[in-house]
């Protein structure tokens, strides 16, 4: 499955400046592995050493937080859009 992963500005240095990159894999976690294979060091910015999504990071698939779906095991369909965003406050 090939998804488009949108890269937030503060991670673009990690992927050669791209705003979005194509990544493939059956799940969100596999898509991140695919990016890591091409841009080593990317994944540790998003995922903790214990394999969970970092506290202040959210991953959205087609706008929906994967935390409330199946986290990194959330299945990917062709053409899905994945966004990685930092936690920002409002109020």
Ligand X SMILES: Cc1ncc(COP(=O)(O)O)c(C=O)c1O
d(CA 83, CA 78): 15
Residues found near ligand X in the complex (CB under 6 A): 90-91
Residue 64: CB minimum distance to other proteins, A: 6
Nearer to other proteins, 78 or 87 (CB): 87
- Which of the listed partners (other proteins, ligand X, none) does 85 bind, with a CB threshold of 5 to 8 Å by partner kind? other proteins
Q: DSSP string of the chain?
A: -EEEEEPPGGGGGGGTT-SEEEEE-SBHHHHHHHHHHHSTTSGGGTB-TTSSBPTTEEEEETTEEGGGTTGGG-B--TT-EEEEEE-----
Nearer to other proteins (CB atom), residue 38 or residue 45: 45
For binding to other proteins (CB under 8 A), which residues are involved?
8-11, 45-46, 54-58, 60, 63-65, 67-68, 83, 85-91
Closest contact distance (angstroms) between CB of 88 and ligand X is 12
């Amino acid at each position: 499955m090939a998804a488009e992963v949108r890269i937030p500005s503060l991670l673009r240095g990690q992927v050669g400046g791209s705003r979005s990159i194509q990544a493939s894999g059956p799940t969100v976690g596999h898509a991140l592995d695919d990016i890591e294979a091409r841009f080593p060091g990317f994944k540790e910015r998003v995922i903790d050493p214990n394999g969970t999504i970092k506290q202040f990071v959210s991953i959205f698939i087609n706008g929906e937080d994967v935390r409330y779906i199946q986290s990194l095991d959330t299945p990917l369909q062709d053409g899905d859009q994945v966004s990685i965003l930092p936690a920002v406050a409002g109020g």
